[in-house]
Amino acid sequence: MTNGFHHFFGAGLLFALAPLLLTGAAEAANWTARGNEPGWQVEMSDTAISFSTMEGEAFVIEPVPEPVRAESIEVYSGAAGDKTVTLVAIDKMCTDTMSGMPFPKAVVVTSGERALVGCGGDPLSLLAGDWKAEEIDAKPVIAKSETSLAFDLDGSMHGNASCNRFFGGFTLTGEGLTLSPGGSTMMACDAGLMEQEQRFLAALEKIVRFESPSDGRLQLVDAEGNTVLALRR
């Protein structure tokens, strides 16, 4: 498998994409990638690519090589000592094999004969924005109830719980997602909406991670792996 990845994401990938790729100045935004078994990490900045493993291997490539780009792919090639290093970043959702956390980039690093596969970018970019609830504990929301949830880049959240507006905060770490409702308005609605609102607010407090399938549906999951909220843009 290692040799196969090396071929596909090394010279084989560049050859296959040659008609589509453009070479441009290095304008890498800061992001991080990591993988498991063995554990490794890449830090990408405007000035350098830093690589390290849990086994103690480490090197820095600077300045950042000029990338070769396709629409959703960036390929960086450089030298670390006597080894040629290639970093391929694909704008495609990638799920961490240990934490289950989704990331916006799939990343492959080849160094010599070894290929390391992992995920990169900021998971918050998949989560941030406005979402409309479709299901609460696998039960469809009441039609036209406008139940919603929005995540802001500053760590705050807000939305409509079905009857009342609410606000609070959230914490997103490498281990998962925690939501902390802070307060809400105090309007009264019909019994069906009030019951749905209570289930919605209770679901917020059970969430430990999120999943973002490719169809654009956001799933908020509890500690037992159950989807307690399903939402869509």
Residues 5, 116: Cα–Cα separation, whole Å: 9
For the chain, 233 residues long, give each residue's pLDDT as a single digit of tens.
333 333 334 444 444 443 333 444 344 579 999 999 899 999 999 999 999 999 999 999 999 999 999 989 999 999 998 889 999 999 999 999 999 999 999 999 998 889 999 999 999 999 999 999 999 999 999 998 999 999 999 999 999 999 999 999 999 998 899 999 999 999 999 999 999 999 999 999 999 999 987 788 999 999 999 999 999 99
Architecture of domain 124-232: Beta Barrel (2.40)
pLDDT (0 to 100) of residue 215: 85
Q: Is 197 left (phi over 0), alpha (psi -120 to 50) or beta?
A: alpha
Residue pair 172/124 in contact by the 8 Å Cβ criterion: yes
pLDDT at 202 (0 to 100): 97
> How do the domains of the chain map onto residue ranges?
2-120, 124-232
pLDDT at residue number 11: 42
Beta bridge partner(s), residue 167 = 158, 183
CA–CA dist 166, 158 (Å, integer): 6
Residue pair 174/168 in contact (Cβ under 8 Å)? The answer is no
- Quote the pTM value: 0.82
Other C-beta atoms closer than 10 Å to the C-beta of 18 total: 10
Using DSSP, state whether 55 is helix, strand or coil: coil
How high is the pLDDT of residue 112? 82
